[in-house]
Chains A and B, each alone.
Chain A
Amino acid sequence: MTQIRDTYLPYEAEVVEMIHDSDEIFTLRLRLTDPIARVQYRFQPGQFNMVYLYGVGDVAISIVNDRDFKAGQFEHTIHRIGHVTTGLQQLKAGDRIGIRGPYGTHWPLAQAKGKDVVVMTGGLGNAPLVAAVESMLNNREYYGKLTVVQGLRDTAGLIYQDKYIRWLKAGIDVRMAATAGEPFGPWQWYQGFVTAAIPEMDLDPANTVVMSVGPEIMMLNVAKSFIEQGVPAQQIYVSLERNMKCAVGHCGHCQLGPEFVCKDGPVYAYDKVAHVLSVKGI
C-alpha cells in the first residue's frame, strides 16, 4: 500500500494549552496548524502519535481525548523521563512541535458493546484509556456496567481528578488503589495494587471485557487475576510499551517475538501475547 504523504513526515502542531498535572507529568493540548490536516485527523482510542520536539527528536505517546473537546484538538499526557519529554515539558501555549500519526491498534470498543467493561490502569497507564472511557460514556447505552480502577504508588500522585469525579457522577464505578499515602476524594481506596479491587467486583466473567495499561508486571497480574475469575483471556486487553523509533514496522526496535508492537499493537488481546510476555528478555 502506498500512502500519498510520506509516513515519516510530521505535521506542524501548535500547543493550544499546557497543563501541568504534577511536577513530572504534563498534558499538551494540541491542534495541527494545517487546516486540512486538522479536519482530516482521526484517531481511535488506544492509538499513539510520534511527538517531535524541534532539534531533539521524537517519542511515541498515546493520544488522550476528553469529552468536551473542541473539534480538531487532541491531547498528550506525558511523563518527563528523557531528553524529548524534558524538552516538551518546557513548552507553552503557542509553541510549535511536530506530530505524525496516529499509529497502532486501538481498544476493542465495538467488540465490548453489550458487555461489562473493567478499565484497570496503573500510574500514567490511565492516559491511554481516557479516550476509550470517554467514548463509552458518549455511547453509554451500548455498554453494561463500567468500572474504572486506577492504581498509584502514593495517593498524592493522582492526576485527572476532575475526570474521575465527572466519570463517577456519570455512573462509572471508580475505585483507586495505592501502596502509600492518605486516601481522599469520593472514591473507594484499596491498600496495595489494583488487583486488590477484583475480589469485591460483582463480575459476570463471560460478559466482561477488561482493558488494562500499566507497568508490564501489573498488566500480567491483572490478566492472571481476571483469568482466575473466569474472564476469557481473549476478552482481556493490554497495551504494551517497547522502544519505538519509526512507528511503522521498519526500525525493528519494538519487536516482541513475531510482533511489531508499533503496528501489530500496542493494544493486544492478552491471549495473543501471553506466551511471549512470559519469556524473560524477549
Chain B
Amino acid sequence: MTLSSQFLPYPKLNDLIQTLQKAGYEVQGPTVQNETIVYDVVTSADDLPWGYQDTQAPAHYAIQKTDVQKAFGFTVPVQSVKPHLFKAQETLFKVTRDSQGKLAFTQNTGEQNPVAILGIRPCDLRAIHIQDRVFMENQYADERYQTRREKLFTIAVNCTDCHSNCFCLSVGGAPKAQSGFDLAMTEISDGFVIESGSNKGKVIVDQLGLSQATEEQINLAQAGIAHACEKQTKTIPDPERVARTLKSASNHPQWNDVARRCLSCGSCTNMCPTCFCHTQLEQASLDGSESEHVREWSSCFGLDHSYTHAGAYRAESKYRYRQWLTHKFSAWQDQFDVGGCVGCGRCITWCPVKIDVTEEINAICDHPDKQAASGEPA
C-alpha cells in the first residue's frame, strides 16, 4: 500500500465489476459451489462468497458460513488461476483428411474473450508468473497460453487470514502481492484499500471515482496482512538450502518412507498452481474424416510419465515422489531461475493420505546425510 492507495467501499464493488465488463472483460471471481469455493463468472458483488470462511488441514477442506460479512474471508480457492491459462484439456490442432489422403492441419489459437479475475491470492499470482516462464518466457512459447495471458486482467486480493497448510513465507512469498498485478485490494471492515499495479489497472480504477485511502484504512489493511503472517506456522528451511540439500539426497531413506504412504494419485499435481506436466492425446472422429490433437494435464506420479520403449524410468513410487518434490524445490530453480513452489498448501490439503510436503522436506533437511540401507536403495 502506498500513498496513492484508494478506498473502495463495499457498495462500489459492483461498480468495479461493471467497469471491467464495460471494458470488455468477462469477470470471474470466487463463488460457492458444492460446498467449496471455486472461480466462476460473477456478474455482481452478490455472487461472491460473503460471510464464508474455509478450514484447511492435511486431507481436510470445509467451508462455513459465518456472521463476519467479508467477501474474501476465506483463504485460497480450491483451484488456482491455472485452469484458466493452462487448460486441463485443450486442442492443439485439428487435421482433416480428404479422399486422396491429403492432410490439412489447422491450429487452435485458443482465442477467447478477455477475462478479468477478481480475488487472486498473492501465492496464486506468483504461480502465474512462474508458469509464464514455462509457457511464454521460454525458447518456445505456447500461443494459446500467451494469448490468454496477455488478455488477462488480474485483481489480487491480499490475504488477511491463513489456513493451517499455508507456508508462503517459507518460499519467498508473502500474504501481500508485491508486483505483477493490475489491481491489488486488501479487505478491511467496510471495503477495500485498492492500488493499481499497471496502466490498465489505473484506467479502470480511475473510472470508479474513489477517494484516497486514509491512514487509518491503510493501517487496518496492513494489520490484516500482518495477522496472516503471524498465523502462518508451517515452515521449511531457506529455499536455497532446500534446493542444495535435495541435489545430494537421491538415496535418502525418506523417499522409501513417503513411498509407503503415497498413493501416486496425482492429486497434489492437479491442485498445484505451478505444475505444468501434460500429455498429448489423439481424438479421431468415428468416420475417420478428422482428428484432433489434444493436450491434457498429466502427472509425474503417473507410471506412463517416464515410459519409453525401454520401460518406465520411474517405475517405483518413491522415484516418482522424489521426482515431484526434487523438481519443485530444486531442479525448477535450475530450469527457470525461480522456485517451483508458492506455499499455497493445496498439495497438503488435497492429499488423501495427509502427506505434508513441508514435513517431508524437513525430514530430509534435518538429517541430510542419511542414506537408505542397502536392502532398500532409494
Contacts and interface: CB of A to CB of B under 8 A. Distances in A.
A245 interface: yes
Contacts of B257: none
Interface stretch (B181-189, B192-200, B306-314, B354-362): B306-314
Given A58-B280, A249-B140, A255-B323, A12 B102 contact: yes
Given A54-B95, A252-B300, A281-B322, A1 B139 contact: yes
Contacts of A3: 140-141
Contacts of B318: 281
A56 interface: yes
Contacts of A6: 93, 107, 109, 143
Nearest to A50: B280
Which of A12, A56, A57, A258: most chain B Cβ within 10 A? A258
Interface string A52-63: 101111100000
B279 A242 contact: no
B306 A98 contact: no
Contact of B291 (A12, A55, A96, A216): A55
A249 B376 CA distance: 33
Given A258-B335, A280-B377, A253 B105 contact: no
Nearest to A85: B309
Given A263-B139, A281-B315, A252 B278 contact: yes
Interface string B313-342: 111101100110001000100110000000
Contacts of A215: 310
A272 to B, nearest CB: 12
A12 B96 CA distance: 11
Interface string A266-282: 00000000000001111
B276 A82 contact: no
Contacts of A1: 139-141
A250 B309 contact: no
Given A10-B105, A281-B313, A245 B280 contact: yes
B208 interface: no
B3 interface: no
B238 to A, nearest CB: 19
A260 interface: yes
Contact of B280 (A57, A96, A280): A57
B102 to A, nearest CB: 6
B373 interface: no
B143 A258 contact: no
Interface string A88-103: 0000001111100000
Nearest to B316: A281
Contacts of B313: 242-243, 281-282
B103 interface: yes
Contacts of A249: 134, 138-140
A9 B107 contact: yes
A41 interface: no
A2 B309 contact: no
Nearest to B102: A96
A250 B279 contact: no
Interface in A240-260: 241-243, 245-246, 248-253, 255, 257-258, 260
A263 B140 contact: yes
A52 B93 CA distance: 12
Interface in A52-80: 52, 54-58, 79
Contact of B140 (A12, A58, A250): A250
A94 B103 CA distance: 12
Nearest to A258: B334
Contact of B307 (A11, A55, A243, A248): A243
A95 B278 contact: no
Given A3-B140, A12-B104, A96-B103, A253 B310 contact: no
A248 B295 CA distance: 13
Contacts of A279: 250
Contacts of B95: 54-55, 98
Interface stretch (B37-45, B163-171, B210-218, B281-289): B281-289
Contacts of B78: none
Contacts of A11: 105
A110 interface: no
A13 B138 CA distance: 28
Which of A2, A245, A263: most chain B Cβ within 10 A? A245
B87 interface: no
B317 to A, nearest CB: 10
Interface in A194-244: 215-216, 241-243
Which of B104, B105, B278: most chain A Cβ within 10 A? B105
A250 B142 CA distance: 8
29 contacts: A1-B140, A8-B93, A8-B107, A8-B142, A9-B105, A10-B105, A12-B102, A55-B288, A56-B282, A56-B284, A57-B280, A81-B309, A96-B103, A241-B310, A242-B308, A245-B278, A245-B280, A250-B138, A250-B142, A250-B278, A255-B323, A258-B335, A263-B139, A263-B140, A280-B319, A281-B315, A282-B313, A282-B314, A282-B323
Shortest Cβ-Cβ A-B pairs, 7 listed: A281-B319, A252-B277, A258-B334, A248-B140, A55-B284, A258-B331, A57-B282
Interface of A: 1-3, 6-12, 33, 52, 54-58, 79, 81-82, 94-98, 215-216, 241-243, 245-246, 248-253, 255, 257-258, 260, 263, 279-282
